[in-house]
Amino acid sequence: MDTAIARPELLLVAESVAREKNIEREEVLEAMEQAIQKAGRAKYGHEKDIRATIDRKTGDVRLSRWTEIVEVVENEETQLAATVAAKLFPDKAIGDFVVDPLPPIDFGRIPAQTAKQVIVQRVREYERKKQYEEFKDRVGEVINGVVKRTEYGNLMVELGRAEALLRRDELIPRESFRNGDRVRAYIYDVRDEPRGPQIFLSRTHPGFLAKLFAQEVPEIYDGIIEIKAVSRDPGSRAKMAVISRDSSIDPVGACVGMRGSRVQAVVQELQGEKIDIIPWSSQAATFVVNALAPAEVSKVVLDEEAGRVEVVVPDEQLSLAIGRRGQNVRLASQLTRWDIDILTEAEESERRQEEFRRRSGLFVEALDVDDIIAGLLVTEGFTTVEELAYTPLDEVAAIEGFDESVAEELISRAESWLAAKANELDQERIALGVTDEVAAFDVFLPEMLVALGKKGVKTLDDLGDLASDELQEIVGAEAMDEETANAVIMAARAHWFDGGEAGEADAGEASND
């Protein structure tokens, strides 16, 4: 028996809604089917598996009840035992469904209202899904929109069929927009949230400046010039590092444009933000010098391990290098990703002299030599007594003014001083109560053992109770990495598990680790 109802107007409604909401016709029809299913379950029982289908060509609506054939029935409303099905439906197997056509539904006011709510809700869900799919791959684009409304200083921006949020802290300082104003912004994030896709815009993001230049400079758009880094103090100043893939094209000149036309177009969009365009360099020192422009740099010293760079500038260039409220050096640091310390030539000279006096004094005291010999050692690059003690004899003898006998005597005095210092530290370690078992760890220098004793770490149990970061803090993180600290602590705990004392073998293993 055919229980279908011909409703060709459903197809017309689906077409109309699909065009209006800019979603697929199939998605609208699926929403209608779910609405009819909900009305069917309200009439025949919510616990039953009621399904509705709409013929995509004729608009015929069919309603049916589905019952699954199972071996053990858990829900009598939606399942049928295989033993019973074998008698009634011999051609069906476990896992198949028995489909019973149901009479059509007469939609009254309440069911019709319910069906309408379901359709509206589902269409809205499809609409949100389409918006998310449209914008999720557009992160990093510059987009134009119209300010729809303002909420606590945040702007809701209309982007065609979607709506985006431009927060107050993502606006350039001192700029304001009113409802109906056009605004250009950068899409920096798109999130799929339960209330719908959330599109976040920014006018302060470094990528916004880069994209504006890509729109103004054809060489950037074509990939001939690449923007390597951008740092911004929004509304005030920015720095941009560029490099050219074509040696015949000046990247800085191309970005500035004829009489500054290109850069001025970006400056106007950014409310007068001053932009320094500098050439990028793979050499860190050169890049840092360029980034500090317009200040002149006399000397650059890199510390790659610490990620720091020390820059020396002429005295009269100090304020220019630092900039107002530290702006210039801060932007240069963000651009290069180096921590930059700025010194004047006078400060650097004074510090060098102080360092020279300190190191010379160390050698005078430790080796019992005069200032001239101590000065020669410092000038040759020796910074500690240990370096001198472990330097080959011929290298020390090669220093101008030294001979082999002087070199031998200096090395001997250095070794004697180190031995006396080690003995003094060992006596201090014993006085502090640090046990020989702890001292047996080869990774601990004498001064480390004293530091442990001063912190109350005296036995293997004390050492085993430490966490790796605590041990690193006591002996110095630069002197012991986390892996070594963990190995030492586990070796100290070994006797907890085997009932014996952790001996020198365990200590040696920890030091090798």
| Residue spans per domain, the chain | 5-132, 139-202, 281-382, 433-512
**Least confident range of 25-34, 377-386, 447-456, 500-509:** 500-509
Q: Is the pLDDT of residue 158 over 70?
A: yes
Confidence of residue 407 (pLDDT cuts 50, 70, 90): confident
Q: What is the DSSP letter of 380?
A: T
Pairing of strands 60-70, 79-81: parallel
> 365 is written with which tokens?
């005291």
pLDDT given for residue 513 in this prediction: 47
Pairing of strands 97-102, 154-159: unpaired
Residue type, 96: D
Task: Give the tens place of pLDDT for each residue, 35-91.
Answer: 778 777 777 787 888 888 888 887 787 888 888 888 888 888 888 888 888 888 888
Q: How far is CA 310 from CA 229, 295, 328, in A?
A: 21, 15, 15
**Least confident range of 149-163, 218-232, 405-419, 491-505:** 491-505
Q: Which residues contact 272 (CB under 8 A, 6 or more apart)?
A: 235
Distance, CA of 460 to CA of 437 (rounded, Å): 7
pLDDT given for residue 511 in this prediction: 46
Average pLDDT over residues 140-150: 90
Find the helix packing angle between 109-135 and 8-21, rounded to 10°. Answer: 40
Q: Is the pLDDT of residue 6 over 80?
A: no
Residue type, 289: V
Distance, CA of 134 to CA of 120 (rounded, Å): 21
Q: Which range in 126-140, 339-353, 450-464 is most confidently predicted, on average pLDDT? A: 450-464
Distance, CA of 404 to CA of 410 (rounded, Å): 10
pLDDT given for residue 251 in this prediction: 92
Task: Give the tens place of pLDDT for each residue, 203-221.
Answer: 999 999 999 999 999 999 8
Residue type, 203: R
Residue with tokens 């304001």: 176
Average pLDDT over residues 133-157: 87
Say yes or no: domain 281-382 is CATH 3.50.90.10.
Answer: no
Q: 191 near 198, Cβ under 8 Å? A: yes
CATH number of the domain at 5-132, please? 3.30.1480.10
Confidence of residue 344 (pLDDT cuts 50, 70, 90): confident
Average pLDDT over residues 145-172: 88
Q: How high is the mean pLDDT of the chain? A: 83
Q: 150 near 179, Cβ under 8 Å? A: yes
pLDDT given for residue 286 in this prediction: 92
Say yes or no: domain 139-202 is CATH 2.40.50.140.
Answer: yes
Average pLDDT over residues 340-346: 87
Q: Which range in 44-53, 106-115, 491-500 is most confidently predicted, on average pLDDT? A: 44-53
**Least confident range of 8-12, 366-370, 459-463:** 8-12
pLDDT given for residue 220 in this prediction: 92
Average pLDDT over residues 137-165: 87
Q: Is the pLDDT of residue 270 over 80?
A: yes
Residue with tokens 């909900």: 38
pLDDT given for residue 112 in this prediction: 54
Number of H helices, E strands in the chain: 23, 16
Q: Which residue(s) pair with 146 in the sheet? A: 158, 182
Confidence of residue 114 (pLDDT cuts 50, 70, 90): low
Confidence of residue 108 (pLDDT cuts 50, 70, 90): low
Distance, CA of 61 to CA of 58 (rounded, Å): 9
Q: 157 near 146, Cβ under 8 Å? A: yes
Average pLDDT over residues 470-494: 87
Which residue, among 503, 511, 446, has the nearest Cα to 475 in the 3D structure? 446
Distance of CA 16 to the CA centre of its chain: 45
The torsion angles phi and psi of 177, rounded to 5 degrees, stand at -130, 150
Q: Is the pLDDT of residue 109 over 70?
A: no
Residue type, 125: E
Q: How far is CA 513 from CA 333, 487, 496, in A?
A: 37, 7, 20
Comparing 139-202 with 281-382, is the CATH topology the same? no
pLDDT given for residue 288 in this prediction: 92
